[in-house]
Chain A
């Protein structure tokens, strides 16, 4: 464990908690893409099945349980508890265009053709594009609540910190995972446009307006 990975995990945890609290406190999921949240729940489910097969550390297990629990709680709040506030008209990204190619790629490009490894690879590829429905929805509505932009900022920051973690681990431990690195780069690049707006416009405005 190094400071970049720890900060990255805490940033990821912060994003997940911020979103869950936002929906719970405001009793509304307006502006939130339920599709992205379903994809994240799928990412955690397919990646953390090893909870049942191997124990890494208390930290590892605890974080995985928290991530999975929060992901499903968020999906529940969006599609069940506060369904009336779900903005389905703007959450129209065709997620099958993400899941199917990612599923196929996981079968073609992986480190090992075993079920757990394929599922892990699927989760890595899916995570890199899972935010697209959310970014697409914001571009359609043309704005995002401030709290949502903080959620996206920490979510994007976490994988950027993981990239530094992988540089650190390559240099000090000789650790190298091409699949995780390439997907992580793609994932972080998708946030660049948002990062620019967050930094340049975040301060001044109450709402982040993305030019549609």
Chain B
């Protein structure tokens, strides 16, 4: 249920 993504948020 989570889109694989680079952690680009602070």
Q: Which residues of A contact B (CB under 8 A)?
A: 5, 9, 12, 50, 54, 56-57, 60, 63-64, 67, 111, 120, 162, 165, 173-180
Is there contact, CB below 8 Å, between A63 and B7?
no
| Interface SS of chain A | helix
- B9 contact from A54, A67, A179, A180, Cβ within 8 A: A180
> How many B residues, CB 8 Å from partner?
9
Most buried by A among B1, B8, B9: B9
Which B residues are in CB contact (< 8 Å) with A63?
Answer: 10
**A9 adjacent to B10 (CB under 8 Å):** yes
How far, in angstroms, from A176 to B1 measured CA to CA in the complex? 7
* 8 smallest beta-carbon distances between A and B, as pairs: A56-B8, A175-B3, A177-B2, A63-B10, A111-B2, A9-B10, A176-B3, A178-B1
| A residues less than 8 Å from B5 (CB atoms) | 175, 177
- Taking Cβ atoms with an 8 Å cutoff, the residues of B that contact A are 1-3, 5-10
- 6 contacting pairs across A/B (C-beta < 8 A): A5-B9, A12-B10, A64-B10, A175-B3, A176-B1, A177-B2
Residues in B with CB closer than 8 Å to A9 are: 10
User: What are the residues of chain B within 8 A of A177 when measuring CB–CB?
Assistant: 2-3, 5
In the complex, the answer to whether A176 meets B2 with C-beta atoms within 8 Å is yes
Complex CA gap A173/B9 in Å reads 14
Whether B2 lies near A67 (C-beta < 8 A) is no
Which residues of the other chain, A, contact B7 by a CB distance below 8 angstroms? 50, 56, 120
Q: How far is the CA of A63 from the CA of B9 in the complex (A)?
A: 10
Chain B residues whose C-beta falls within 8 Å of the C-beta of A12 in the assembled complex:
10
